[in-house]
Chains A and B, each alone.
With several copies, the nearest count.
Chain A
Amino acid sequence: MIRVENVWKEYGEQVVLERISLDIADRAFVALVGPSGCGKTTFLKLLLGEEQPSEGRITLDGQPLAPEPTPERGVVFQRYSVFPHLSVLDNVLIGRDFSGSPFRGRLGRVSRRAAADEARALIAEVGLSGNEDKYPAQLSGGMQQRLALAQALIMRPRVLLLDEPFGALDPGIRADIHVLMKRLWNETDLTVVMVTHDMREAFTLATRVIAFERPRNAPADRVRYGASLSSDIAVWPPRVAGLTDPDSTPYTFASPGGDDPAQATGPRRDDPAPPLAGAKP
């Protein structure tokens, strides 16, 4: 379980996040939404260990988070998540290379062949079979993100952090990758935290949708007040990893869960898509 206790984050003068308290259960799939610039990426960086909270603390299973990125927390960014100089296969294998060869950073022939089998399986899993020898620049955006997923998954991370991973993809490809994502989440022992701009995506995938908002957004206040949790919505009917049919259809949502510290309000902007038209505030 990830526990976030009264976390603040400031950059110099500017308060970006304030009073964030949150528990994320094991195998939860949390979608993080909120207006641009409200600190979603910053929050993910805190979870990742790339940045440290200015105040408060974050624990994983009761242990303070390592203050730098570690293999137990995988990540996929919107862009630049794969290495342009490595082929698809090498991109997936590099995690194994790192753990298996401290000095050369590359496995020997024999152990690499074994690892390559595993990598190929993962590549097939994300639907990239046959592209093993291509470079990322030869893949479409959607394929690159699939590759980034496979690359992260080979480390079997406890937590997978996604920062708008599908934001740059077209809707058809995005739908495919959603199906993939659900399957991976169901089959793997994985807690997922995903930042997205897309409400529909949030409700399609997540077990829980958390919104950040800056309560005071006047230009004069931008520096002195940060964003905080404005709503926390458990998706209904509840999805449970490995149990529910991942493609169970119409989504709606229940009232906020018990651990919601803030009064729930609706998303800042109503998404124009019909499924949200009936959202309860």
Chain B
Amino acid sequence: MRFINLKPSRTTQLMLAVLPFALLVIAYGVGSVVRLAENPSDKLLPAFASLVDAINRMAFTADVRSGEYLFWADTLASLGRLGMALGIATAIALVFGMLVGMFPYIRALLAPFLAAISMVPPLALLPILFIALGLGETSKVTLIVIGIAPIMVRDLVLRVLDLPREQLIKAQTLGGSSWQIGIRVVLPQILPRLIDGLRLQLGSAWLFLIAAEAISADSGLGYRIFLVRRYLSMDVIFPYVAWITLLAVVANVALDLLRRRVFPWTELGKAT
């Protein structure tokens, strides 16, 4: 039988899915043992025990200085920033995506500009951002928004343009004004895509968050990673990176679920 037609059973599927992760862990373990045999205080690939130690220290022992559980305080700080930035970026994407997608005049005005600014490397403009917005939360949130919103807007514009022209015509024959068509025909149909667009940008959003926290912060997952990087404390960095990855993957899945729940008709469309 052709390999293309071979389908693994449920169990095989599960085992296969776990395999690469298992291999990664094993490779790490071996690498760690080898390096530690050479230099027992090597910090690059700490032993699993050291990782557990570090997790214990960061997550389940109160910090002597602040009395906080640093891991959780960092997580809260980062998620707060991320959540706010994603919310703002989503709102911007929605408004501009619809305006640019629906109205030829606004499209002519903004589409080329959007294409250009989505290519500006935001990290290079940080000084401007700081001076305009200060070093506080605002500038961190803004960096993330600037980093992801233009791409989300462009994605949504394409989505609006993908709506069958027939639908917009039909809506007009039903007496819909531009505004009404926007909120009753276009908006509900692009919302699911907005969620998908957000999912696609999660990785970038984390990236910008970490970059922002590396530049100036006193808490946050990215702050901690860059702080302890100074001492090559990979025993802290690895759990933090794994945790960030986990959070991102969970957010990804959660957003997908949200879309299915809130917009059941998107799934019906696929079934046919």
Shortest Cβ gap from A42 to chain B (Å) = 14
Asked if A152 is an interface residue, CB under 8 A from chain B, the answer is yes
* Complex CA distance for A99 and B167, rounded to whole angstroms: 17
The 8 Å CB contact of B180, one of A85, A105, A151, is A105
Determine whether the beta carbon of A98 is less than 8 Å from that of B180: yes
B window 93-129: CB within 8 A of A: none
Asked if B173 is an interface residue, CB under 8 A from chain A, the answer is yes
Determine the chain A residues whose CB is within 8 A of the CB of B263 once the complex forms: 85
Determine whether the beta carbon of B268 is less than 8 Å from that of A138: yes
Asked if A102 is an interface residue, CB under 8 A from chain B, the answer is yes
Determine whether the beta carbon of A85 is less than 8 Å from that of B189: yes
Shortest Cβ gap from B204 to chain A (Å) = 28
Determine whether the beta carbon of A85 is less than 8 Å from that of B166: no
| Cβ-closest chain B residue relative to A137 | B268
The 8 Å CB contact of B174, one of A85, A95, A137, is A95
Q: A79-B166, A83-B167, A105-B183 are in contact. Are A99 and B271 (CB under 8 A)?
A: no
* Complex CA distance for A69 and B170, rounded to whole angstroms: 8
Determine whether the beta carbon of A70 is less than 8 Å from that of B175: yes
Asked if B184 is an interface residue, CB under 8 A from chain A, the answer is yes
Determine whether the beta carbon of A102 is less than 8 Å from that of B169: no
Determine the chain A residues whose CB is within 8 A of the CB of B265 once the complex forms: 84-85, 135, 137
Determine the chain B residues whose CB is within 8 A of the CB of A235 once the complex forms: none
Asked if B188 is an interface residue, CB under 8 A from chain A, the answer is yes
Asked if A267 is an interface residue, CB under 8 A from chain B, the answer is no
B window 149-205: CB within 8 A of A: 164, 166-167, 169-177, 179-180, 183-185, 188-189
Determine whether the beta carbon of A81 is less than 8 Å from that of B175: no
* Complex CA distance for A86 and B265, rounded to whole angstroms: 8
The 8 Å CB contact of B189, one of A77, A81, A84, A99, is A84
Determine whether the beta carbon of B268 is less than 8 Å from that of A71: no
Determine whether the beta carbon of A71 is less than 8 Å from that of B173: yes
* Complex CA distance for A94 and B167, rounded to whole angstroms: 12
Determine whether the beta carbon of B176 is less than 8 Å from that of A98: yes
Determine whether the beta carbon of A155 is less than 8 Å from that of B166: no
| Cβ-closest chain B residue relative to A45 | B169
Determine the chain A residues whose CB is within 8 A of the CB of B17 once the complex forms: none
Asked if B39 is an interface residue, CB under 8 A from chain A, the answer is no
The 8 Å CB contact of A102, one of B174, B177, B185, B272, is B177
* Complex CA distance for A102 and B170, rounded to whole angstroms: 17
Asked if A18 is an interface residue, CB under 8 A from chain B, the answer is no
* Complex CA distance for A80 and B180, rounded to whole angstroms: 19
Determine whether the beta carbon of A98 is less than 8 Å from that of B184: yes
Determine whether the beta carbon of B175 is less than 8 Å from that of A77: no
Determine the chain A residues whose CB is within 8 A of the CB of B184 once the complex forms: 94, 97-98, 105-106
From B164, B184, B272, residue with most partner A Cβ within 10 Å: B184
Contact digits for A76-94, partner B, Cβ 8 Å, 1 yes 0 no? 0101111111100000001
* Complex CA distance for A44 and B221, rounded to whole angstroms: 56
From B180, B264, B268, B269, residue with most partner A Cβ within 10 Å: B180
Q: A75-B169, A138-B268 are in contact. Are A83 and B185 (CB under 8 A)?
A: yes
| Cβ-closest chain A residue relative to B1 | A68
Determine the chain A residues whose CB is within 8 A of the CB of B169 once the complex forms: 48, 50, 69, 75, 77
Q: A83-B167, A138-B268 are in contact. Are A155 and B176 (CB under 8 A)?
A: no
Determine whether the beta carbon of B268 is less than 8 Å from that of A81: no
Asked if B9 is an interface residue, CB under 8 A from chain A, the answer is no
Determine the chain B residues whose CB is within 8 A of the CB of A104 once the complex forms: 183
Asked if A67 is an interface residue, CB under 8 A from chain B, the answer is yes
| Cβ-closest chain B residue relative to A155 | B174
Asked if B5 is an interface residue, CB under 8 A from chain A, the answer is yes
B window 1-20: CB within 8 A of A: 1-2, 5
A window 35-90: CB within 8 A of B: 48, 50, 67-71, 73-75, 77, 79-86
Asked if A34 is an interface residue, CB under 8 A from chain B, the answer is no
Determine the chain A residues whose CB is within 8 A of the CB of B174 once the complex forms: 71, 94-95, 98, 151-152, 155
Interface residues, chain B, CB within 8 Å of chain A? 1-2, 5, 164, 166-167, 169-177, 179-180, 183-185, 188-189, 263-265, 268-269, 271-272
12 A-B pairs with CB atoms under 8 Å apart are A48-B169, A50-B169, A69-B172, A71-B175, A83-B185, A84-B189, A98-B175, A105-B180, A135-B265, A137-B271, A138-B268, A151-B174
Contacts A68-B5, A75-B169, A75-B170 known; 17 new A-B pairs at CB < 8 A: A48-B169, A68-B172, A69-B169, A70-B175, A77-B166, A77-B170, A81-B167, A84-B268, A85-B188, A85-B263, A85-B265, A98-B175, A102-B179, A106-B184, A135-B264, A137-B268, A137-B269
The 7 closest A-B CB pairs, nearest first, are: A137-B268, A80-B164, A69-B172, A105-B180, A95-B174, A80-B166, A71-B175
